[in-house]
Amino acid sequence: MSIRDPFDPAALADVTLSHKEIRRYSRHLIMPEVGMTGQKRLKAASVLLIGAGGLGSPLAMYLAAAGIGRIGLVDYDTVDYSNLQRQIIHGTKDIGRPKLDSAKERILDINPYVQVDTYEVALTSANALDIFAPYDIVIDGTDNFPTRYLTNDACVLLGKPNVYGSIFRFEGQASVFYAKEGPCYRCLFPEPPPPGLVPSCAEGGVLGVLPGTIGAIQATEAIKLILGVGEPLIGRLLLYDATTMTFDEVRLRKNPNCPICGEQPTITALIDYEQFCGMPAHDHSEFSADEAIAIPAITPRELKARLDAGDAPMILDVREPHEWEISNLAGLGAVLIPKGQILEHLGELDTAREIVVHCKTGARSGDVILELQRYGYRKLLNLAGGINQWARDVDPSLPIY
């Protein structure tokens, strides 16, 4: 299977390779599976990358080096110190820059013959179809469920391959969802997980080299699709475990009742994916409007002022023990009870005493407050921004992680 007929001379009639390009791609050209025709197909191809982060970094660099003629990047974030452990397309000098600026600069340094299109916007139902339309292949390098479902549905509606990848801690997944040839993402995951069940990489962490492995697999699949060689991961889900260095494979079947790619689809246009998933995309608050109203908050500076005035609420840290070792508020009397163990320790929490709950950034602590409210706790405050914001606003001696 390939995205266009590899032997159709009309598709490549206007594609030429300069002497410098021939020298650049010489190790491709001497492979009979690629050759001049294959390299021209790579130059004529266009690939859209959703995200210029962990997966997008190796994807963009390897696709550029391979000679993909047009690469699109969708991202609106800026480079942060915490990105550098895995997002290798960005460097220390890029801290604070838009990711698209540093990514484009690096791509063109690798290969000046590549056209780089940038879309510094949040991908939404209103713009996805227009952004996807000019590209042959879409590659999913996202980190949240609303955008994954949005990417899948837009690809199905436009008839485009969706090269999927996901990473978490030591594990990764990869597949090619192409409704014309096999199942789509919804065939595998008809419903998103309950909100809060699957932590993000920002909360759960990710091994720095893991996106390199999965991103390289995604880049390989895209190149195979363009060249029309080998067997793509259509109808197969590749599972990778870095701790055991093993790859497993799960065969996937197209769901005839799939609401978007099935025999009688009920989804014929893009929907509200944040509502469908019951969670926001990563660019918004971690909570819905109703939840945000139900979660009273206090800023680090407000808490510091109250502590200085002699007010002494209980400070409850709901992070994991290894995070406590990075930074903690033990000097202020903070108590550590990890989020997953809260219900086992209700007896240690006084309903009559005000409790300030905190985590790394305010997401897990908000979940804990919603849970405790179900058990009758009312004097609860979420430390806005978590301990990282406390380090920024109150105590710069604490590290930010």
**Residues noted as catalytic:** 201, 359
Q: If you write DSSP's letter for every residue of 18-29 in order, what string do you get?
A: -HHHHHHTHHHH
d(CA 51, CA 12): 29
CA neighbor of 202 nearest in space, from 82, 292, 100, 337: 82
d(CA 310, CA 344): 30
Q: CA 248 → CA 217, 229, 239, distances in Å?
A: 14, 22, 5
| Beta bridge partner(s), residue 163 | 139, 176
Whether residue 239 contacts residue 249, with contact meaning beta carbons closer than 8 Å, is answered with: yes
d(CA 270, CA 259): 12
CA neighbor of 359 nearest in space, from 306, 297, 313, 309: 297
Nearest-5° Cα angle at 126, 123 to 130: 80
User: Cβ neighbours of residue 175 under 8 Å, at least 6 residues apart?
Assistant: 164, 188, 233, 234, 236, 237, 238, 252
d(CA 228, CA 222): 10
Residue 305 CB-half CA count within 13 A: 6
Amino acid at 334: A
DSSP single-letter state for residue 234: B
d(CA 170, CA 211): 10
| Beta bridge partner(s), residue 49 | 73, 139
Q: Give the count of beta carbons closer than 10 Å to the beta carbon of residue 112.
A: 10
